[in-house]
Each structure stands twice: as C-alpha cells, then as structure tokens.
Structure 1
Amino acid sequence: MSQKTSERRRYFRVDDHIGLRLMLVTDTDVEHLDSGSVQTPEQRLIKVNSAINRHLARLKRKDESLATLLGLLNHKIDLIAADVDTGKPKVDDKHAHTYMMCEANVSACGLAFPYHTDFSKAQMLSLHIKLFPSEEVVEALAMVVGCERRDAFSAELSDYEKQQLKDRPYWVRVNFEEISEVEQELLAQHVIQKQASKLSTRVKLKEE
C-alpha cells in the first residue's frame, strides 16, 4: 500500500456504536502540561504520551517495525494501568471507568458524537474511545471544531429517538490533536472493517 493511500484511508468514516469517556482540558491544564508544574495523573499521562509519540514519529522514519512495536508496548501499558486499582474511593473508581454508549461517526482523524453539553470551538477534550467488539480503548487529545443542536428533524423521530435527543441535544465534532501512530492505525483498521461488514450485510440483503 502506498503512503498516499495509507494516509487517505485515515479519513474514511463510518457510523458506529462506541463507548466514550471524556474530560475537559482547560487552559490551566494546558499551561501545566507546558510548564511541567504539579499535574494530575491524567495530565501527566497526556504529557508523557505526547513525548513518546514525538519520539516514535522520528524513529518510524528510520525503523518502522521497531517504532510500531514500541507503540504497541506503550498502548499495552496504558491498558494495564487503566485496570489497576489506584486506591481511590469506589465511587471515583466507578466514575473513572464509566463509558457513555452512543452512536458516533468515527474516523482515524476525528470523531462526531451526541452530547449533553454545548462545547465552544477550540475547546480541548481528553477522550477515551472504546471500540466493539474488540473492546480496544483508544486515547486521544482532541479539539472541538463544531457543536450544533441536532433537533432540526425532531418531528420525524420515534419516541425513543426523541428521548435520546432530549438527553443529548448537541452534535459535537472533534479533530484529534494528539494520538499515537498505533492507536490511529487501530482506528483506521476498525473503520475499514466496519465498512466492509456493512457492505457485506447490504449485499446479502439484496440477494435475499
């Protein structure tokens, strides 16, 4: 596969059912990340992963296989760390590992999803995206590029859809600003597989 084709497929999109957990990244958080002052564990993880990603990008130009291997090892460590009991009160642990299940539009470069908050443009978000059926978790630092109300066609919706619209009235679009090569490739492969599965289903339905 050529590099141009490989890059283009990162922009393929698919409507998908995902788990989503997000945290606002404030200007103060960004200043802490830049200054190296006292940070929360989440902020430190963002900073460390950002540094790892920069080094992996440089290493990839010299040894792609080694860079991929190290990226996978880093991703594995992140997954293990997410399951470790930190000793915090159980209510915090439960909240920290809770995902909002939703229908979203997914690509390897960004995400669009329904939410209950009206975010402003350029707002930074820390995202944890759970993919199914693999249950892989992808982490990314993302910037809001759009947030619009999605009730224009509410009259045409079912009662269930109207309730969903009431609970999450905004459609949020984000671009990934910081994401590892490994996790971006995971998303690209996931999108391609989902597209292939949907195409296969449509073909079978036509044949029937």
Structure 2
Amino acid sequence: METGTMEERRRYFRLDDEVILDFEAISQEEVQRWKARHQDHINELAELERDIAGVLHQVQAQNPTVARLFELLNQKVNLLNSPVGPDAKPELSQTEVRTRVNLSACGMAFHSTEPLSESDNLRLQMQLKPSNIPVTLMGTIVGVEHTADPATPYLVRVDFEGLREAEQEILIHHLFQLQSRRLRSEREAQNDAAC
C-alpha cells in the first residue's frame, strides 16, 4: 500500500506526541532488505496487540484495577522487547531522549539537528509512549524546512513508505489512545474547575 497521497493525509488525523525516536538515512536497497526481514515480526506484534486490546477492553468493564494491571504488564513486556531495551542489539544509536513529533498513520514531522535532504530514505525507529511499543518504519523525506531554533534547525516531514496494515493499525491504535487520554484529561480539568 502506497501512503502519503493527499487523500490519505486528509483521511488520517495528526496529533502532537512525544516518542523515543531515532533515525538514519538509508539507500533504497537497504529499505527493500529491511522490509523482507521485518514483515513477519510486525504482523505478529500487531495481531498480539489487537488481541490484548480486545481482552483489556472486556476486563476493564468488569474490573478496572485488574485491567490496569494487565495494561502495565503489557507495557513492561513491550519495553523489554523494545529495540531500546536493556539487552537489545542496537540497530540505531540507542537514544532515550523523547522527541516531540507530529504523527499520523501515514507520516510524521519532527525537528532535527541533522541536515537531511528531500527524497532521502529514512529508517525510523520509535518507541511509542506510554505503551512502550517499538515501531520501526521506512519513510521518504517530503520536505525539510529551516527553523529559527538553533538547537533543532530543521523541520523534517516524512511520508511512511510500504506501510502494512498491521503497522498502520499500531499507529492508529496509539493515536486513538492518545486522543482519548487527552479528552479524558480535559473533561477532568473542566469538572475540577466547575467544583
């Protein structure tokens, strides 16, 4: 499935988020090799996350405390399985710094210190928070703008390439959860202000 068309950008909403992000520029040949190696792993992870989310939703209705415990255990397992986990082989630089991104199910934008070029291929390695789900995606830079911030002088826009349904579902689920948490926090703040 090719992503990044104007129609798809309208179909998927974008949210500001913080993730652990690392990336590197790679050749088109490296993109193809990586896709071949990681397909099965991504599909299995997405299927497990879907199953866990369904069961957690059922348990939440009956016992919210137990559901929260299972959610925390799932986050812990994801963290241990993460490419930035303690015993993982480093694929990239192993940064633990959270990066502000503007994320959708078909692309993202982030600030960078590195001068990148439009149409470069990137391997993006993210750890979604608070679930700790590791996601590694390929993308093509569709825009680089200079910013006024000397600490991060480039705004990089990336369209995800070759996204499979399983990967897209992970992103959509993450964005849905993020938006739900924000709306819940806003409601609680309004209720507190009304009291």
1:135-172 Cα offsets, whole Å, 9 max, x none, are 10111110001111222xxxxxxxxxxxxx32211111
Inter-partner Cα distance in structure 2 for 1:15 and 1:136? 17
Query: 2: CA distance between counterparts of 1:81 and 1:202?
Result: 31
Residue-pair matches, total? 153
User: TM (normalized to structure 1)?
Assistant: 0.61
Q: Is the 8 A contact 1:22 1:128 kept in 2?
A: yes
CA distance in 1, matches of 2:154, 2:12: 23
Higher helix share: 1
Corresponding residue for 2:179? 195
Q: Distance in 2 between matches of 1:31 and 1:99?
A: 28
Partner of 1:46: 35
- For the residues of structure 2 that align with 1:198 and 1:149, how far apart are their CA atoms? 30
Unmatched 5+ stretches in structure 1: 1-6, 35-43, 57-67, 87-92, 152-164
| Equivalent residue runs for 1:50-199 within 5 Å | 72=47, 80=81, 82=83, 93=90, 96-151=93-148, 165-199=149-183
Larger Rg: 1
What TM-score, normalized to structure 2? 0.64
The match for 2:17 is: 16
| C-alpha distance after superposition, 1:178-199 (max 9, x if no partner) | 2332221011011111112212
Cα distance change, pair 205–172 in 1 and its aligned pair in 2 (3 A): same
What's the secondary structure of 2:95's corresponding residue?
coil
User: In 2, distance between residues paired with 1:187 and 1:104?
Assistant: 13
- Structure 2 gap segments, 5+ residues each: 1-7, 49-76
